[in-house]
Chains A and B, each alone.
Chain A
Amino acid sequence: MDWTILLYKTIFLFIILLVTLLVAMYSTYGERKVAAFMQDRRGPNRAGPFGLLQPLADGVKMFMKEEIIPLTANRTLFILGPSIAMTTALLTGVVIPWGGTLIIGGREFSMQIADLNIGILYVFAMVSIGVYGIMIGGWASNNKYALLGAIRAASQMISYELAMGMSIVALVITTGSLSLHDIVTQQHGMHWNIFYQPLGFLIFITCAFAETNRAPFDLPECETELIGGYHTEYSSMKLGFYLFAEYINMFISSAVITTLYFGGYNMPFIDQLGLSPNTVTLLGTAFFFVKILSMIFLFMWIRWTLPRFRYDQLMNLGWKGLIPLAIFNILATGVYYYFTELT
């Protein structure tokens, strides 16, 4: 690896980091707007035109708030919790292929930071470590509600991770690769995986909702029962990090869903237009973001439509509904490929 690649990767890494933070920041604004619109309200519209400066104002507010660490809390772990949540949320972005290849000065630069051959597993690993952020934070607070929220988060994530993993197994059977780059290139044209794995997609997206702790699976932080759940004792920017990590997770899971099931940066009919490779790449990236943003809108749309699950219903759905379905999906996919592609 020579220094141009290194430089390119570093710059690209920073761009991805910035874009992730920016999108997460404006997701908070978008969420409030979407919620308001669905409830016949206007939403934030005072800070700047259309309230566009609202996320900045919120950020400043979060930083200026008094920092409180409870006396009975475990100080180290209390600080570690939000740090883990934030770090793992940001780490997932590196394996996602944000676009095709750019050709600058006769050299090819891939718009993916690291093309791991086990890309999906890496995503899963990071998401799983994210549970520790919530668990540690909830436990370190030394507060009943926080602990309950943390326990709920842990059990929910473990339950849904299983079904999620199994829906991915079926996807891997169809694609034959764990690398996100390969999965995207295979979906070139309109061969999007959602047409081959509709059931798997449904299972995956349901689990993605549960993994990001979004409604209707937001039990770890349900305000009405647990007064905020695992972040009850948190204040100032630590609370901000927890809330922010949730939005980053939402952005990253939207990106993963798009990559796995909606063809990533592939655009339909792009080959017929006869554009230069760089234009195609950039257009593809733009289209990728359009898909991601629609996915984020779907997340919000569902949040403001469905009521929260009860805890036993959540466990029922996970263990008795989604896991058998996922196993059936693996079986059906396996049998189908066994008989059609005997090679």
Chain B
Amino acid sequence: MQMLTDRSKVVSDKKMTFMERIYIPAIVKGMFITLKHFFGKKTTISYPEQKREFSKVYRGQHVLKRDDIGRERCTACGLCAVACPAEAITMIAAERKPGEENLYREEKYAAVYEINMLRCIFCGDCEDACPKEAIFLTDRIVASQYKRKPFIYGKDMLVEPLDPSKRIDISARQTENVNKFKLEKRFAHNK
């Protein structure tokens, strides 16, 4: 049988030798191992002062993007809700009234857009499914709560602020490969 690691040892129930039976050499050996660790490097990260860096592809709380002039990109097509394996996304669409052109980019928009953060598994399929580049996962952590209700995030939590300086940076999610993949997918039905 092939060993999974090179650290595996064959064990046997042979009689212990005298040196093994008096335990002292083994105890001393063990004590030196712990002493080595005593002076070794500590692996703890002192949390509030020191934060562990996120991975580049970390997927945390979602954001609903606005376009350059501050209009919501989401058109409430429902593809994200269909793509969602955990069925965490629900939305109610509404028609854009005249005079609301500065608020919504498309003629149809999401009047209600809710993600249940307890159901969400942060797979990022909504992001892949979105044809309007409206939803992205960010490196923000979903805050803990005492009740279930606050975990259902509405548009007030999801849509990014209007103020350009407070926009959520999602450039980490828009690498060249991702953009190429999205472009190919968009025109896939023409082939």
Contacts and interface: CB of A to CB of B under 8 A. Distances in A.
Question: Which of A38, A45, A304 gathers the greatest number of chain B CB atoms within 10 Å?
Answer: A38
Contacts of B39: 37
B40 interface: yes
A289 interface: no
Contact of A38 (B24, B38, B41): B38
A34 interface: yes
A37 B31 contact: no
A304 B30 CA distance: 10
A302 interface: yes
Contacts of B40: 40
Contacts of B41: 40
Contacts of A304: 34
B67 to A, nearest CB: 46
Interface string B32-46: 011101111111101
B37 A42 contact: no
B31 A301 contact: yes
A40 B24 CA distance: 25
B27 interface: yes
A294 interface: no
Chain B at the A interface: mostly helix, strand, loop or mixed?
A: helix
A302 B27 CA distance: 8
Contacts, number: 37
B37 A301 contact: no
A45 B31 CA distance: 25
Contacts of B31: 301-302, 305
Nearest to A216: B27
Interface residues of B, number: 16
Contacts of B24: 202
Given A306-B27, A306-B30, A301 B35 contact: yes
B38 A42 contact: no
Interface size range on A against B: 10 to 19
B57 to A, nearest CB: 28
A260 to B, nearest CB: 20
Nearest to A33: B38
A305 B30 contact: yes
A87 B38 CA distance: 34
A305 B34 contact: yes
A34 B35 CA distance: 10
Contacts of A306: 27, 30
Contacts of B37: 37-40
B33 to A, nearest CB: 8
A259 B27 CA distance: 25
Interface in B57-111: none
Interface string A40-84: 111001000000000000000000000000000000000000000
Given A301-B34, A304-B34, A305-B34, A42 B44 contact: yes
Contact of B38 (A34, A45, A202, A302): A34
Given A41-B43, A41-B44, 12 more contacts: A34-B38, A38-B35, A38-B37, A40-B37, A42-B44, A42-B46, A45-B46, A302-B27, A302-B31, A304-B34, A305-B33, A306-B27
Interface of A: 34, 37-42, 45, 202, 301-302, 304-306
6 contacts: A37-B38, A40-B41, A41-B42, A42-B44, A304-B34, A305-B27
Closest 10 A/B residue pairs (Cβ): A38-B34, A305-B34, A42-B44, A37-B38, A305-B30, A40-B43, A305-B31, A38-B37, A41-B44, A38-B38
